[in-house]
Amino acid sequence: MASSEQLKALVSSHIEKDDDRFLSLTLQVAAHEARSGHGRLAQELRDIVEQAKKVSLKNLPISIAKSIKDTNGLLFTSHPKEKLNNLTAPVELKDQLKRLIREQRHMVKLKNHGLSPRRKILLVGPPGTGKTYTASILAGELDYPLFQVRLDGILTKFMGESAAKLRQVFDAINEVRGVYFFDEFDALGSHRSSTNDVGEARRILNSFLQMIEQDDSNSVIVCATNHMEILDHALFRRFDDVIHYQLPDDSEIITLLKNKLMPFVAKSFGWNKLPEQARGLSSAEITRASDDAIKEMLINGLPRVTASILIKSIKERYKMSQHLNKK
């Protein structure tokens, strides 16, 4: 018979809806029964686990339409296929993301030893530096659905309603495994002692702090902000990792341009002269400048994107960026 500890762990994993751990523990019981001479029972347990895995694979990824009643429009669902190799970022940043992905993939092993994988992260940095793209990458790497939390649907002027809607989101986080992305998180997480804060905003933040603290689901929670300085300090200890995004350096600028423009430029194209023109632009702005240059080439019937066309596009993006930053 299974040990008392194994039985308690099985019941616990069932209550917590942790299917991976439940199946892993069942295989441990099967191994124990095999060692005890109960070969037929052990094989029956293994067959049940294999059948359960096949059913589980058929049901993944889980659609919000099938599993969550989202009548209030609080979540937007997608199924990205992006991979970490597609992200242009410093090695240190990508290593942090790799660690989270590895821990998620070894969730059962870690939980069997009383450890929890990283799954709550805060992304901090200027607009257009890859924070939203990172949420898509994590969903793609883990083969999870991506649920973007619509803060405009959560935040209302009616007392208590926002906290109730936030509870619906965390219920979904618990019920359906996925990557849940809170963009522009500072709308929820601004400092509780802020002089322009109102009572309802403090209640929403307090509700979020309590919910994320109590959350022990198997989902990945990703929050992103452009304004780390206004976040409440109590938030930071709720996250497993805080990842900082910066504007691309010279080598990253060249990589971004090459990724877009390689098929459209001459072999002798002078890549090394371009970083000076694009410094201060975000990854998204550099990508848009590349797209603008390609469109200019196509519309004018030119055989190649030239340096002058690209520099003009970069300068236009830089001018637009400077104008927006002044607002």
- State residue 144's pLDDT score: 93
Whether residues 99 and 198 fall in one domain: yes
Q: Give the H/E segment covering residue 66.
A: helix 64-67
Whether residues 127 and 202 fall in one domain: yes
Domain count along the chain? 3
Cβ neighbours of 325 (radius 10 Å): 10
> Measured between alpha carbons, how far is residue 115 from residues 54, 103, 111, 118, 159 in Å?
27, 10, 5, 10, 38
Q: Give the H/E segment covering residue 170.
A: helix 161-175
- At a CB cut-off of 8 Å and minimum separation 6, what does 73 contact? 150, 153
CATH number, domain containing residue 78: 3.40.50.300
Structure tokens at 105: 């993939």
Condensed to tens digits (0 to 9), the pLDDT of residues 32-78 reads 777 777 778 778 888 887 777 655 544 443 334 344 445 457 888 99
Whether residues 205 and 295 fall in one domain: no
Backbone dihedral region of 37: left (phi > 0), alpha (psi from -120 to 50 degrees) or beta? Answer: left
Whether residues 279 and 136 fall in one domain: no
Whether residues 33 and 89 fall in one domain: no
Whether residues 254 and 174 fall in one domain: no
Whole-model pTM over 0.85: no
Whether residues 136 and 19 fall in one domain: no
Out of 41, 58, 75, a domain closes at 58
For residue 20, the enclosing domain spans: 4-58
CATH number, domain containing residue 298: 1.10.8.60
Q: Quick one: angle between helices 19-35 and 39-58, nearest 10? A: 160
Q: 99-122 burial by CB neighbour count: b if 16+ within 10 A, else e? A: ebbebbeebbebbeeeeebbbbbb
Condensed to tens digits (0 to 9), the pLDDT of residues 213-223 reads 899 999 999 99
What is the Cα–Cα distance from 266 to 305, expressed in whole angstroms? 8
Cβ neighbours of 240 (radius 10 Å): 16
Closest CA to 287 of 255, 321, 260: 260
What is the Cα–Cα distance from 146 to 139, expressed in whole angstroms? 6
Out of 221, 244, 267, a domain closes at 244
In the chain, the N- to C-terminal Cα span, in Å, equals 70
Whether residues 39 and 82 fall in one domain: no
Profile the chain (327 residues) by mean pLDDT over runs of 10 residues. Answer: 68 70 74 76 80 55 43 80 94 96 93 92 93 96 92 71 86 92 76 50 79 92 86 82 95 95 94 92 95 96 95 91 61
Q: Which residue's structure tokens are 């990854």?
A: 283
Given a contact cutoff of 8 angstroms between Cβ atoms, the answer to whether 154 and 129 are in contact is: no
Q: How many residues does the chain have?
A: 327
Q: What is the DSSP letter of 63?
A: P
Closest CA to 166 of 112, 115, 125, 221: 221
Whether residues 193 and 265 fall in one domain: no
What is the Cα–Cα distance from 273 to 262, expressed in whole angstroms? 15
Whether residues 207 and 94 fall in one domain: yes
Given a contact cutoff of 8 angstroms between Cβ atoms, the answer to whether 79 and 61 are in contact is: yes
What is the Cα–Cα distance from 38 to 190, expressed in whole angstroms? 59
